[in-house]
Amino acid sequence: MEIFLDTASIEDVVFWESFIDGVTTNPSLIAKSGAEDYEVLVKEICQLVRGPVSLEVLSEKYETMLTEGRRIAKINSNICVKLPCTFDGLRVCKELSLEGISTNMTLCFSSAQALLAAKCGATYVSPFVGRLEDVGHDGIHLLEEVLDLYNQQGYETRVLAASIRSLQHVIQAAMLGVDAITLPPLILRQCFEHPLTWKGLEIFANDLKKRK
């Protein structure tokens, strides 16, 4: 399973570099980074990681989205163009896929959207677990359904669990067999932190002191 960091912060990417296979950004994360020129920021992130770096288009209409997608794909060879699961976004996905550009279909909230993303040749599809749960739906069930559907139909689009809000989400997604997951730095930190580990270290250190 690939682990991506959900961030647009250079510091985060440098700090977590040993654990991650790539990075996903979104317009909110880029705004939060305070970067004046987001393309310069993303270029820098692309130099720091070998794997895919998802960068989202800002346009909403087919023509402009297509032009923007082609332009941002040229920023670096590891750019993955992030597109919304809309009518226009899916059409752009099909076109970019035919051109050999890698894509990540974002804001996926249903298996039907995931089906179309695969039909359009998406490299990744990103079902949003947390945001579905925010509105009372079962985000983990969506992952399960998309994985089953792709398996039944033999689609190669990779399932990327997104909008991950807890350690439980991480383990549930991993156990279902998702191809990739994107984690905010806070959740990645929670993956290794355990109070008993710290307590154990303290006990070992104290025992050693006693021996002296």
Closest to ligand G3P by CB, 128 vs 150, is: 128
Q: Taking a C-beta distance cutoff of 8 angstroms, is the pair 89, 65 a contact?
A: yes
- Residue at shortest CB range from ligand G3P: 163
Closest to ligand G3P by CB, 65 vs 107, is: 107
Closest to ligand G3P by CB, 119 vs 165, is: 165
What minimum distance in Å lies between the beta carbon of 164 and ligand G3P?
Answer: 7
Closest to ligand G3P by CB, 70 vs 165, is: 165
What minimum distance in Å lies between the beta carbon of 200 and ligand G3P?
Answer: 32
Residues for the chain: how many in total? 212
Angstrom CA distances, 210 to 5, 203, 206, 207, stand at 42, 11, 6, 5
How many other C-beta atoms lie within 10 A of the C-beta of residue 122? 32
- Per-residue b/e over 175-209, b at no fewer than 16 CB within 10 Å? ebebbbbbbbbebbeeeeeeeeeeeeeeeeeeeee
What minimum distance in Å lies between the beta carbon of 154 and ligand G3P?
Answer: 27
Which residues bind to ligand G3P, rule: CB under 6 A?
6, 24, 26, 128, 130-131, 162-163, 165, 182
Positive or negative, the CA dihedral 58, 69, 80, 82 is: positive
What minimum distance in Å lies between the beta carbon of 102 and ligand G3P?
Answer: 16
Ramachandran angles phi, psi of 120, nearest 5°: -85, 5
32, 43, 74, 82: the active-site residue: 82
* Known catalytic membership, residue 199: no
Active-site residue list: 82
